[in-house]
Amino acid sequence: MSDVFPKWTNRLPLLVIVGVSLAGTAAMAGVWYYLTPKYTRVGYQPKQPVAFSHAIHADQLGLDCRYCHSTVEKSAHSNVPATSTCMNCHNQVLKEDPKLALVRESFESGKPIPWVWIHKTPDYVYFNHSVHVNRGVSCVHCHGRIDKMDEVYHAKPLSMAFCLDCHREPEKFLRDPKLVTDLKYTVTAEKQELDGKKFVHDWKVNSSQACSTCHR
Amino acid sequence: MSAETSTLSAVKIAPPPKELEREPLVLKNRSIGWISDHIAGICEGKTPKWWWPAFLISATVLLMMAGMITYLISTGIGVWGLNQPAGWAWDITNFVFWIGIGHAGTLISAILFLLRQKWRTSINRSAEAMTLFAVACAGIFPLIHTGRVWFAVYPGYMVPFPNANGIWPQFRSPLLWDVFAVSTYGTVSLLFWYTGLIPDLATLRDRATNKIRKMIYSFGALGWTGSNRHWSNYEKAYLILAGLSTPLVLSVHSIVSFDFAVSVVPGWHTTIFPPYFVAGAIFSGFGMVLTLMIPLRSLCGLHDVITVRHIELMNKVILATGSIVGYAYGMEFFIAWYGGNPYELYAFKNRAFGPYWWAYWTMISCNVISPQFFWFKKLRTGVAFTFIISIFVNIGMWFERFVIIVTSIHRDYLPSAWGYFRPTYVDVLTFVGSFGLFCTLFLLFMRFLPVIAIAEVKGVTPQADPHHPLGGAKGGDH
């Protein structure tokens, strides 16, 4: 048989196989890392109009989360406090501080401070804050150590898999509802297992995984 | 030693009696050279006059389908006529229709090979091509009927991979079994078809006069030289692939039938579905093979290779499978009554006498009555008559799937949820467009690849026997 192709083409199949597998692996790894909320959401830290520090308020001063986010236990939606909540203290404390100029202005004009929303659930997801908080899902599970943040950032991926991790094994996360705002709370694995199973049983926790639980 | 040889050669073997002689598979005692020239000539010669108009029409219809699918995906599934209660209609009908057609190709190429039915060699190549193109048409419908097609892949509904949604395909769902059944079927059919093509691609390569043509066929021929070792490996590979494909003939349509049988819908939830679907698939597939083969044979002058005997044998398969299908229709009705389930009985009464009575009786006339003509030798050897019946078989089998799907779900348990499905023009044009895809692929196939397995047909001619006066290595030049 006459030569149709030059001799070097004998190496071509091997090169193609190696090249395609490398490119395929790279593409998979890229999608895996760059196209999931672990990359796209975690670390999102927009500049807020007022440099409010959760570290000072929640950690140093020891304010409870619910002092400002007062609807978490009662409402599906958790509120960002109105300016009047800030002014409960700041009409006395740091009255003249230039960093709070916008807060005072907002209080006088009645126009809310344009806080930038960080933890957004997509519009096709139904999420109820109160049912989670009242059944011992702590703030820290989804929002991270807010009490250590000078400026708030997106600490957890909040992807569907993130939700399902807990919905599939709620006993690994549930705690006494009195402790939900205690972001420092730590527990041994044995106690968590014991407590968690008890809570799941006593409260008849049914962390449904049906599609329509969240996609209504 | 020499004494033995002399005694052996002294024995005279009488030729077999005339009535035991088999009808030749290639008529007019065509030589091996004629077979190569004639079949390779179809893709080497000048483009026949009819080809371009046929291709342009097919390609236009294909483009229309592309337009309809674009409209569907950009607008939403509501452009089709289906809605509650009939959530499946033409989409799944078309899917089952096309996937069923493929089965004839696999039966011809695998089961008839294992059963040493030598007549398969004239039709297996184009029947397998038909299988592949039918699977391509079939694959489109389940994908687009999800509306947002990218969801089929990305969140892992169909393809299992760890993902940020933390979800996994539902392995208990027959719809997922279907994904695996059809993709396995497509893959094995492609490999089988391609393996069979290798020696013929080498023939085309060796005959090629133009350099680019030579390079393309060389690429496809994978360095085939026709050495004994190549043939030995080839035949082993072919046998293994035939063995792998054989269960697929039965399994793929069984699993397609599970899409219905595993549900609890009256009219779907029956154990007869797998064998009944397989018989229907082979029936429809042979119908389509004949619809393609009869024009191909006259347009390309293949009367000596695809003979009336081939057509007659295929008609016998149609008669057998068509009768099985007719029996299954009867048995479904019997069980609906005998089973004592009022919903089931209603579903069947509604099929025959409800608002879709016209679809049911179209199906019965085409699938039960029309193959019965083939009891008569005169009719099953009539080429034009066979062509007409094959068209009826195609129509009937499309209606069978429509009847099963739509009449079962348009009225199920709750009368308050009853409805009537009407297709929109998008439904109709998408289905018509799938014929555009099918014909475009088939026309390209017949212009660029040998439509008949050259090497295999040569192997079943009398000349292939080295002891034949015209066969083997005679004359000492090889």
Tell me the per-residue pLDDT of A27-44, one tens digit each, with 9 for 90 and over. Answer: 988 988 888 888 889 999
Give the pLDDT of residue B104.
87
Asked if B215 lies within 8 A of A165 by C-beta distance, the reply is no
Give the pLDDT of residue B376.
96
Contact (Cβ atoms closer than 8 angstroms) between residue A144 and residue B147 = no
Closest CA to B269 of B336, B178, B350, B170: B336
Give the pLDDT of residue B1.
42
B165, B215, B225 ranked by CB distance to A159: nearest: B165
Inform me whether the C-beta atom of residue B225 falls under 8 Å from chain A C-beta atoms. yes
Give the pLDDT of residue A70.
93
Q: Give the confidence band of B3 by pLDDT, cuts at 50, 70, 90.
A: very low
Q: DSSP string covering A146-205, please?
A: GGG-SS----S---HHHHHHHHH-GGGT---GGGTT-TT----HHHHHHHHHHHHHHTT-
* Residue B321, pLDDT above cutoff 70: yes
Contact (Cβ atoms closer than 8 angstroms) between residue B357 and residue B402 = no
0.90 cut: is pTM over it?
no
Inform me whether the C-beta atom of residue B269 falls under 8 Å from chain A C-beta atoms. no
Tell me the per-residue pLDDT of A169-215, one tens digit each, with 9 for 90 and over. Answer: 999 999 998 999 999 999 999 999 999 999 999 999 999 989 899 99
Give the pLDDT of residue B391.
96
**Over chain B, what is the mean pLDDT?**
90
* Residue B471, pLDDT above cutoff 70: no
Domain B47-460 has CATH 3.30.470.20: no
Q: Give the confidence band of B40 by pLDDT, cuts at 50, 70, 90.
A: very high
* Residue B46, pLDDT above cutoff 70: yes
A134 CB burial (10 A radius; 0-12, 13-18, 19+): middle
Asked if B166 lies within 8 A of A37 by C-beta distance, the reply is no
B462 CB burial (10 A radius; 0-12, 13-18, 19+): middle
CA of A163 vs chain B CAs: smallest distance (Å): 9
CA of A35: which chain B residue's CA is closest? Answer: B164
Asked if A4 lies within 8 A of B164 by C-beta distance, the reply is no
Inform me whether the C-beta atom of residue B164 falls under 8 Å from chain A C-beta atoms. yes
Cβ neighbours of B213 in A, within 8 Å? none
Closest CA to B106 of B288, B339, B324: B288
Give the pLDDT of residue B4.
46
Inform me whether the C-beta atom of residue B170 falls under 8 Å from chain A C-beta atoms. no
Q: How far is CA B435 from the centre of its chain?
A: 14
Which residues make Cβ contacts (< 8 Å) with residue B95, sequence separation at least 6?
B138, B141, B142, B145
Cβ neighbours of B205 in A, within 8 Å? 4
Contact (Cβ atoms closer than 8 angstroms) between residue A78 and residue A129 = yes
* Higher local confidence (pLDDT), B477 or A123: A123
Instruction: In whole angstroms, give the CA distance from residue B318 to residue B321.
Output: 5
Cβ neighbours of B167 in A, within 8 Å? 160, 164
Instruction: In whole angstroms, give the CA distance from residue B348 to residue B340.
Output: 12
B164, B215, B225 ranked by CB distance to A1: nearest: B225
Give the pLDDT of residue B233.
95
Q: Looking at this protein, which amino acid is placed at residue B392?
A: F
Contact (Cβ atoms closer than 8 angstroms) between residue A65 and residue A58 = yes
Q: DSSP string covering A19-46, please?
A: HHHHHHHHHHHHHHHHTSHHHHTTT--P
What's the CA angle centered on B224, arms B220 and B226, to 5 degrees? 145
Range of weakest confidence among A138-152, B46-60, B148-162: B148-162
Q: Which of B218, B225, B227 to substitute to test the interface with A, most A CBs within 10 Å?
A: B218
Domain boundaries in chain B? Answer: 47-460
Instruction: In whole angstroms, give the CA distance from residue B172 to residue A35.
Output: 29
Inform me whether the C-beta atom of residue B153 falls under 8 Å from chain A C-beta atoms. no
CA of A167: which chain B residue's CA is closest? Answer: B166
Q: Give the confidence band of B152 by pLDDT, cuts at 50, 70, 90.
A: confident
Tell me the per-residue pLDDT of B360-393, one tens digit each, with 9 for 90 and over. Answer: 999 999 999 999 999 999 999 999 999 999 999 9
* Residue A1, pLDDT above cutoff 60: no
Percent of chain A with pLDDT over 90: 76
B164, B215, B218 ranked by CB distance to A36: nearest: B164
Give the pLDDT of residue B11.
66
3-state SS, residue B83 = strand
A1, A4, A159 ranked by CB distance to B164: nearest: A159
Instruction: In whole angstroms, give the CA distance from residue A15 to residue A13.
Output: 5
Give the pLDDT of residue B156.
64
Contact (Cβ atoms closer than 8 angstroms) between residue A160 and residue A37 = no
* Higher local confidence (pLDDT), B388 or B161: B388
Contact (Cβ atoms closer than 8 angstroms) between residue B103 and residue B282 = yes
Tell me the per-residue pLDDT of B458-470, one tens digit each, with 9 for 90 and over. Answer: 988 888 877 777 6
Tell me how far apart the 2 most distant CA atoms of chain B are, in Å: 94
Tell me the per-residue pLDDT of B229-288, one tens digit each, with 9 for 90 and over. Answer: 999 999 999 999 999 999 998 999 999 999 999 999 999 999 999 999 999 999 999 999
**Over chain A, what is the mean pLDDT?**
91
Tell me the per-residue pLDDT of B104-144, one tens digit each, with 9 for 90 and over. Answer: 888 888 999 999 998 999 999 999 999 999 999 999 999 99
Chain B residues 346-385 with CB within 8 Å of chain A: none
Give the pLDDT of residue A2.
58
Give the pLDDT of residue A215.
92
